[in-house]
Amino acid sequence: MNYREALEYVDSLKKYGVVPGLDTIRELCRRLGNPQDKLAFVHIAGTNGKGSTLSFVSTVLQCAGYRVGRYISPTIFQYCERIQVNQRPISQACLGRLFDQVKAACEDMASEGFSHPTAFEAETALAFCYFLEKKCDIVVLEAGMGGEQDSTNLITNTKVAVLSSISMDHMQFLGDTLEQIARQKAGIIKPGCRVVTLRQDPAAQAVIAGKAKQCGCRVLTADPAEAVHIRYGWKRQSFDIDSYRKLTISLAGRYQIENAVLAVRVIEALSDAGFPVTETALRKGLLTARWPGRFQVISEKPLFVIDGAHNEDAARKLADSIEFYFTNKRIVYIMGMLRDKEYERVIAITHKYADPIITVATPDNPRALSAYELATAVSRVHGNVTAAASLEEAVEMAYLLAGKEDVILAFGSLSFLGRLTEAVKERKDYGRSQKGAGSGQDASGGHR
Summarize pLDDT for 300-347 with one digit per residue, the tens.
989 999 998 888 888 998 999 999 999 899 999 999 998 888 899 999
Average pLDDT on 53-81 reads 93
Q: How far apart, in whole angstroms, are the C-alpha atoms of residue 106 and residue 412?
A: 34
Confidence at 427, pLDDT banded by 50, 70, 90: confident
Strand order, beta sheet including 407-412: 296-299, 303-307, 407-412, 331-336, 357-359, 385-387
Closest among 390, 330, 381, 382 to 360, alpha carbons compared: 390
Average pLDDT on 376-383 reads 97
Domains 3-288 and 296-447 share a fold: no
Q: How far apart, in whole angstroms, are the C-alpha atoms of residue 361 and residue 388?
A: 8
Average pLDDT on 350-363 reads 95
Confidence at 383, pLDDT banded by 50, 70, 90: very high
Average pLDDT on 287-291 reads 94
Q: What torsion do the CA atoms of 308, 309, 311, 317 make, to the nearest 10 degrees? A: 140
The residue with greater pLDDT, 253 or 6, is 6
The residue with greater pLDDT, 359 or 301, is 359
The matching CATH number, chosen from 3.30.70.20, 3.90.190.20, 3.30.1490.480, 1.20.1250.20, for 296-447 is 3.90.190.20
Q: How many residues in the chain?
A: 448
E-assigned strand segments in 77-227:
83-85, 88-89, 138-142, 158-163, 194-198, 219-222
Closest among 220, 331, 326 to 269, alpha carbons compared: 220
pLDDT of residue 436: 44
Considering the chain, what is the average pLDDT of its residues?
A: 91
Cis previous bond, 292, omega within 30: no
Summarize pLDDT for 12-27 with one digit per residue, the tens.
999 998 888 999 999 9
Say yes or no to pLDDT of 410 above 90: yes
pLDDT of residue 102: 98
Summarize pLDDT for 209-243 with one digit per residue, the tens.
999 999 999 999 999 999 999 999 888 999 999 99
Neighbouring-strand partners of residue 297: 305
Summarize pLDDT for 110-140 with one digit per residue, the tens.
999 999 999 999 999 999 999 999 999 999 9
- Burial class of residue 82 in the structure, from the number of CB atoms within 10 Å of its CB (0-12 exposed, 13-18 middle, 19+ buried): buried
pLDDT of residue 205: 95
Summarize pLDDT for 24-59 with one digit per residue, the tens.
999 999 999 999 999 999 999 998 889 999 999 999
Confidence at 448, pLDDT banded by 50, 70, 90: very low
pLDDT of residue 18: 85
pLDDT of residue 169: 61
Cα four-point dihedral sign 232, 296, 319, 182? negative
Instruction: Tell me which of 140-149, 235-244, 328-337, 433-442 is least confident.
Output: 433-442
DSSP state of 414: G
DSSP state of 117: P
Q: How far is CA 332 from CA 41, 44, 63, 323, 432, in A?
A: 41, 34, 38, 14, 20
pLDDT of residue 447: 37
pLDDT of residue 440: 35
The residue with greater pLDDT, 446 or 95, is 95
The matching CATH number, chosen from 3.40.50.720, 3.30.470.10, 3.40.1190.10, 3.90.79.10, for 3-288 is 3.40.1190.10
pLDDT of residue 243: 95
Confidence at 428, pLDDT banded by 50, 70, 90: low
pLDDT of residue 151: 95
What are the domain boundaries of the chain?
Answer: 3-288, 296-447
